[in-house]
Amino acid sequence: MSAVNTLAEQDFEQLSIRRLTGGFASIIAVHDTTLGPALGGVRIRKYASDDLAAADALRLARAMTFKAALAGLPLGGGKSVINADPREDKSRGLLEEHGRHVAALGGRYIPGADMGTGPADLEVIGRYAPQVSSDGRDPSPYTARGVVASILTVSNRLSGNGIGHDGLDGLRVAVQGIGNVGLGIVEQLTARGARVLVADPDPARVELAVERHGASATTLDEVLLADVDVVCPAGPGLVVTEAIAGSLRAGAVVGAANNMLADPGVGATLTARGVVHVPDFVSNAGGLISCAAEVSGDTEFLDRVDRIGGVVDEILRHATATGTDPDTAAIALARKRIDEVRAAA
């Protein structure tokens, strides 16, 4: 598993793989538990190989570590993946087997909802796992809320307005991917006067965004290169390639999709071109904040979601001051918090 070997050379604590009934791979990655148990979603998606599924789990778990640290949460980073088609292969038995796999980690990993799973699925997994999140609340609306707060910060930065002014009226935003998070982003943006362009592999999702929220439709080939102010990938990751970064017409990229950059070097390319880039593990942290609140019983978590915009501003300022790209700046700030907690232990 070459991709896994490459990623495993980084500072991961655990990678566990089980074969489920039907031959499906259940994969759990735990990156870092310095701040607390690893919380991360259960993703059910059909990958071309188990190697690619494991590599995705590792990438996502690492991003969750940084996401939790920057959000100020007492949690580490983890993720689990089931290499299966959620529409055809997902079953109660599959979820139960995955739940037993989670239970074997003894509470080091807390699962939540992700692509291909929802509250009902987490309820099944929770019958076996020591603790779960998202079994009573869908985190998608809070993910969308944090992304919109990030877009507002970027809009204010591009226009020179101060934080707190609503710079969404008339803003042109292209959203790639109209799943639960993407549709929530479209709904919130259009409600505040933004002009939104959408694309998705499912024509019904596009039609929903157009008819319900007044968005305009484009194609998947054109959405990231559209003549807009902000591009917002909100589907699968690794979509912003060097080629895309070099051809962007937008002034900013704000990630809702996890791991939206195809390669770490893409962030430097965006910065060199003067494109404002908000790391996805910062802007999409609202879902994690919601999941953490569900686990802890916190009912006052919305303010923390809304403060994501302020975190974005801090990171963009730090990147400018240090002459780095925002991804590098954000990871440095996250590692600083983790190192401080580790040193105090």
Q: What pLDDT score was predicted for residue 179?
A: 95
Distance CA 266, CA 91 (A): 38
pLDDT of residue 279: 97
Strands 25-32 and 14-19: antiparallel
**Which is it for the CA torsion 150, 152, 158, 160, positive or negative?**
negative
Beta bridge partners of 97: none
CB burial readout 96-116, b (16+ within 10 A) else e:
bbbbbbbeebeebbbbbbbbb
pTM of the predicted structure, to 2 decimals = 0.92
Question: Which residues of the chain register pLDDT less than 50?
Answer: 1, 161-165
Task: Give the domain ranges of the chain.
Answer: 2-64+75-125, 140-335
Question: Who contacts 332 (Cβ-Cβ below 8 Å, separation ≥6)?
Answer: 318, 322, 324
Report pLDDT for 74.
97
CA–CA dist 38, 61 (Å, integer): 8
The whole-number pLDDT of residue 7 equals 61
Report pLDDT for 162: 43
At residue 281, the pLDDT reads 97
Predicted local confidence at residue 8, as pLDDT: 59
Quote the pLDDT of residue 167: 82
Identify the CATH assignment for 2-64+75-125 out of 3.90.1150.10, 3.30.1490.20, 3.40.50.40, 3.40.50.10860: 3.40.50.10860
Q: Give the C-alpha separation, 237 to 259, whole Å.
A: 5
Strands 25-32 and 76-83: antiparallel
Cite the active site residues.
79
Looking at the domain covering 140-335, what would its CATH class be? alpha beta
Q: What pLDDT score was predicted for residue 165? A: 44
Does this chain's domain 2-64+75-125 share its CATH topology with 140-335? yes
Please provide residue 151's backbone torsions phi and psi, each rounded to the nearest 5 degrees: -65, -40
